[in-house]
Amino acid sequence: MAVIETERLRKYYGKARGIEDVTLTVEEGEIFGFIGPNGAGKSTTIRTLLNYIFPTGGTARVFGLDIVEDSAQIRAQVGYLPGEVGYYDDMSVEALMQYAAGFYQGGYSEHRPRIDELLDIFELDRRRKIHALSQGNKKKVGIVQALLHRPRLLILDEPTSGLDPLMQTRLFEVLAGEHKRGATIFFSSHVLSEVQKFCHRVAIIKEGRILRVEEVEKLRHGLFQKVRVVFRQAGGDEGAGGGEAGVAAQAQALDLPGVVHRAVDGRTVELLFSGDVNELVRRLARHDLESLWLEEPPLEEVFLHYYEKEGR
């Protein structure tokens, strides 16, 4: 079953573009990444899905329910963490949790064991006033509020922003537990290493438009390899000559289809390569090499080159 379905979803603020023709599907039990830089339209999409802002056009359904007509039913089953959290400053953490739990069936008494567990995990003092909390601790309060009722769908907008590395690790451990329980997770981020480790599929968004929806493994494995070649000092057997000039000529010989980036530093040449690896090896075999190194690049590097290409 599709938990989230959008079809040409649009949102404009007057004449200013928010999102344009966003079409995607998130399946039940999936961990879905929504990636792009700040201002790409990630938060606008999320706020539209939750009916905090009204769409300009298109359609969207969550749990098969219309996001406008059935928004109350949808929110009862969703845990939402906004990118920036804001609460009543004079409330204590405990009072806020009592207030938040009251919106869900069973109220505070039913959800208190889960709240206590999460407050302990994220090292929050329930007696502290909201105004006395750091931004990182306010974010942790938002995480607890999103998780306290064990929602079917978690929508997280830049969830690690403001968290130290230890708390980021704890957050992902908690989310892994929620996923094992059966929750679907929709995860917005511009920190691509997080998405690479955690998500099954990703949607790439730029300037309000979806560029591509792809499995994380296919996005990384199927497109690029990172190659580093260290030539010996002398020029190769194509008559390039010795020294760095010879190496530069050797590097130029590697100008073959699939090389999307090339950097030369002394005798070392680094490539981001998406072509036929057999052709690459044939070209390299013409030269005298000191070492050859190939690996899968981090998603950040793949994303930046893909983004530049598709965004033109």
Q: Which amino acid is at 63?
A: F
| Of 267 and 12, more confident | 12
pLDDT at 93 over 90: yes
The pLDDT of residue 30 is: 96
The CB density around residue 45, as the number of other CB atoms within 10 Å, is 30
pLDDT at 297: 73
Which pLDDT belongs to residue 71? 96
Q: Is the pLDDT score of 66 beyond 50?
A: yes
CA atoms within 13 A on the CB side of 264: 15
- Cα 201 to Cα 30: distance, rounded to the nearest angstrom: 8
What is the rounded CA–CA span in Å between residue 154 and residue 185? 5
Report the pLDDT value the prediction gives residue 306, as an integer from 0 to 100: 63
Residue 138's alpha-carbon distances to 3, 20, 163, 282, in angstroms, are 29, 32, 10, 56
- Residue owning tokens 């007509």: 69
**Cβ(187)–Cβ(32) below 8 Å:** yes
**pLDDT(241) > 60:** no
The reported pLDDT for the residue numbered 55 is 96
Q: What is the pLDDT of residue 185?
A: 98
* Percent of the chain with pLDDT strictly greater than 90: 61
User: Buried b vs exposed e over 260-285: b needs ≥16 C-beta within 10 Å?
Assistant: beeebeebbbbbbbbeeeeebeeebe
Does residue 256 carry a pLDDT above 70? yes
User: Of 58-62, 204-208, 220-224, which gets the smallest average pLDDT?
Assistant: 220-224
| pLDDT tier for residue 237 given thresholds of 50, 70 and 90 | very low
pLDDT for 244 beyond 70: no
> Domain extents for the chain?
2-220, 225-295
Confidence at residue 206, expressed as pLDDT on a 0 to 100 scale: 86
The percentage of the chain sitting over the pLDDT mark of 70, rounded to a whole number, equals: 88
Q: Could you say which DSSP state residue 92 is in?
A: B
> Does residue 115 have a pLDDT over 90?
yes
The more confident residue out of 18 and 36 is: 18
Range with lowest mean pLDDT among 23-32, 193-202, 231-240: 231-240
Judge whether residue 236 has pLDDT over 50.
no
Look at residue 132 and tell me whether its pLDDT is greater than 80: yes
pLDDT band at 199 (very low <50, low <70, confident <90, very high): very high
Between these two residues, 40 and 12, which has the higher pLDDT value? 12
Q: What are 270-284's pLDDT values in tens digits?
A: 888 878 888 888 888
Average pLDDT of the chain to the nearest whole number: 88
Packing angle of the helix pair 93-101, 135-147 (nearest 10 deg): 30
Mean of the pLDDT values across residues 13-17?
Answer: 91
Of the candidates 167, 174, 219, 166, the residue with the CA atom closest to the CA atom of residue 33: 219
Domains 2-220 and 225-295 equal at CATH topology level: no
Whole-prediction pTM: 0.79
Does the 225-295 domain belong in CATH 1.10.3470?
no
Q: Determine the topology of domain 2-220 in CATH.
A: Rossmann fold (3.40.50)
3-state secondary structure of 191: coil
Residue 100 pLDDT more than 80?
yes
Q: Which amino acid would we find at residue 123?
A: E
d(CA 282, CA 89): 66
55 and 46 in contact (C-beta within 8 Å)? no
Amino acid 177: pLDDT: 97
